Homo-oligomer: A and B are copies of this chain.
Amino acid sequence: MEPKTYVEASVELERILRSEGQLAPQRAQEVQNLAVQLPLRELIALVERCNSVRAALLLRLLPRELSIAVFDALDFAQQADLIDELGNQDVFEYFDALEPEDRVSLLDELPAEIADRLLRSLDKPDRDITGVVLGYSKGSVGRRMSPEVPDLYPEMTAGEAMARLKETAADLETIYTLPIVRKDRRLVGVVSFREVFQAKDDALLGDLMKEAVYAMANADAEETARWFLPLDILALPVVDESQRLVGLLMWDDAIDIVEEADSEDSARSGGAEALQQPYMSTPLLKLVRSRIVWLLVLALSALLTVQVLSVFEDTLAAAVVLSLFIPLLTGTGGNTGNQAATTVTRALALGDIRKNDLGSVMWRELRVGMLLGAVLGGLGFVLASVVYGLSIGLVIGSTLFLVCSMSATVGGAMPLIAKAVGADPAVFSNPFISTFCDATGLIIYFLIAKTVLGL
């Protein structure tokens, strides 16, 4: 069991950090004493919950090695927020301690001028290796890869390779996945450290290596991370157009890439932009900004429903009872559409569906929608008939059936259409589909009502 004191220390520390305006010197000592009792993961969680002033304060009070480890584990956006609060000297040290590819991701979050100053603070070799990563475009594999690779050739023996690695390990991010290159740096294979370690000393790397699974440096980072992670390998060799080894995509960076993408998809499925930093440390106005644009776009497209309804105002006036079912019908349409869109968006993200599957996805969703509509429509028919009479029952039942069929098909198609035109599938997703289904559903509703009720 973890000792109770560490949980208590954490609660106490958070209380101090949250309550005080200014931190008195004796409090600083107390904070320090509490902080070093916490496991690393608890410290990281604590810093993630603080605004940047408090987080900077806490980082400064930690022993240097610990504060570097905490800083390293933060989201890039929060690191960027912290840069402003920390002294130059601290910042340079933290920056220097990051892996080259993590430095670049942090630079991407910073104003050009500060990014420049940070880059200039590195010594020449570090600046050069960071420059390799900076040379690739945002969103590419090259931008997220580790540029530190070993020099191993097929003619080397296992023993020579081990000796070489022992010398150079300090300059490498990993020694566990070993790409093998020819003299011209073209990738010819890959071998795991474990295999080299277990091989006879005089075994040739050329005989031990397997055909390499690899990625192109200019390939899409998210797509690559998605197929790479399930293969359970620790690092993926990255090559340029001439098949020359330029880096390794590390498993931990691949996880970051996937998590960023999932957070973005999740936010967009709720009709907002991703925060890219922990909720509690996000300033209030940043929360508002992440939501207001989509809310306005959605509200403006909802004016469509006002238009549709005003077209049918006479029908509504003639049978006020029809207005009672408006939220039920639009809600059900929206829900059916959302279910389909969420499923398809996730499947697209995971690579389970491809762009040219539009036809088969729509055909699947149409059938699913009809089945769902049959159940809901049947139920709606019975309930509405009992309470409001047979003709209203007929209107509600058939509207539900058609709305479900239509919404599922549209909801399933939308993410694929978005992808086809180069937009983020998650953007055209749930709330947008709700609004679309609302308007279309209302038209279906009133056309059926006019026909059945003879209005």
* Residues of A in contact with B (beta carbons under 8 Å apart): 1-2, 39-41, 44-45, 48-49, 73, 165-166, 169-170, 175-176, 193-194, 197-198, 213, 216, 227-232, 234, 241, 243, 251-252, 255, 262-263, 265-267, 269-272, 275, 278-280, 284-285, 287-288, 290-292, 294-296, 298-299, 302-303, 305-306, 309-310, 313, 316-317, 320-321, 323-328, 330-332, 334-336, 338-339, 341-347, 350-353, 357, 360-361, 364, 367-368, 371-372, 375-376, 379-380, 383, 430-431, 434-435, 438, 442
- In the assembly, what is the distance between CA of A280 and CA of B87, in Å? 53
Within the complex, the shortest CB–CB distance from A417 to chain B, in Å, comes to 16
Within the complex, the shortest CB–CB distance from A435 to chain B, in Å, comes to 6
Within the complex, the shortest CB–CB distance from A395 to chain B, in Å, comes to 14
* Contact across chains for B299 and A376 when beta carbons are under 8 A apart: yes
Contact of A372 (CB < 8 Å), options: B251, B292, B434: B292
- By Cβ-Cβ distance, the 5 closest A-B pairs, closest first, are A270-B342, A279-B347, A278-B352, A305-B327, A323-B323
Which residue of the partner chain B has the closest CB to A239?
B1
Contacts of A352 in B (CB 8 A): 45, 48-49, 278-280
Contact of A255 (CB < 8 Å), options: B194, B255, B357: B255
Within the complex, the shortest CB–CB distance from A35 to chain B, in Å, comes to 15
Contacts of A290 in B (CB 8 A): 343
Residue pairs across A and B with Cβ atoms less than 8 A apart, 22 shown, are A1-B243, A41-B228, A41-B230, A44-B227, A48-B352, A166-B197, A169-B198, A267-B342, A267-B343, A269-B269, A270-B341, A271-B339, A271-B342, A279-B361, A280-B360, A284-B371, A290-B343, A295-B376, A299-B332, A306-B327, A313-B324, A430-B430
Copies in the complex: 2
* Contact across chains for B231 and A292 when beta carbons are under 8 A apart: no
- In the assembly, what is the distance between CA of A312 and CA of B295, in Å? 28
Within the complex, the shortest CB–CB distance from A252 to chain B, in Å, comes to 4
Contacts of A321 in B (CB 8 A): 313
* Contact across chains for B267 and A346 when beta carbons are under 8 A apart: yes
* Contact across chains for B288 and A372 when beta carbons are under 8 A apart: yes
* Contact across chains for A353 and B298 when beta carbons are under 8 A apart: no
Within the complex, the shortest CB–CB distance from A12 to chain B, in Å, comes to 14
Contact of A270 (CB < 8 Å), options: B48, B328, B330, B430: B430
Q: Which one of A49, A252, A328, A342 has the greatest number of beta carbons of chain B within 10 Å?
A: A328
* Contact across chains for A336 and B295 when beta carbons are under 8 A apart: yes
Contacts of A361 in B (CB 8 A): 279
Within the complex, the shortest CB–CB distance from A89 to chain B, in Å, comes to 25
Within the complex, the shortest CB–CB distance from A144 to chain B, in Å, comes to 14
* Contact across chains for A270 and B270 when beta carbons are under 8 A apart: no
Contact of A309 (CB < 8 Å), options: B194, B324, B372: B324
Contact of A44 (CB < 8 Å), options: B230, B302, B375: B230
Contacts of A336 in B (CB 8 A): 291, 295
Which residue of the partner chain B has the closest CB to A265?
B266
Within the complex, the shortest CB–CB distance from A272 to chain B, in Å, comes to 4
Contacts of A234 in B (CB 8 A): 234
Contacts of A302 in B (CB 8 A): 327-328, 331-332
* Contact across chains for A328 and B342 when beta carbons are under 8 A apart: no
Within the complex, the shortest CB–CB distance from A402 to chain B, in Å, comes to 15
Contact of A291 (CB < 8 Å), options: B267, B372, B379: B372
Q: Which one of A2, A288, A299, A371 has the greatest number of beta carbons of chain B within 10 Å?
A: A299
Within the complex, the shortest CB–CB distance from A349 to chain B, in Å, comes to 9
Given A169-B194, A176-B176, A371-B288, check contact A335 B431 (CB 8 Å). Answer: yes
Contacts of A334 in B (CB 8 A): 334, 431, 434
Contacts of A357 in B (CB 8 A): 280
* Contact across chains for A213 and B266 when beta carbons are under 8 A apart: no
- In the assembly, what is the distance between CA of A380 and CA of B389, in Å? 37
Contacts of A227 in B (CB 8 A): 41, 44-45
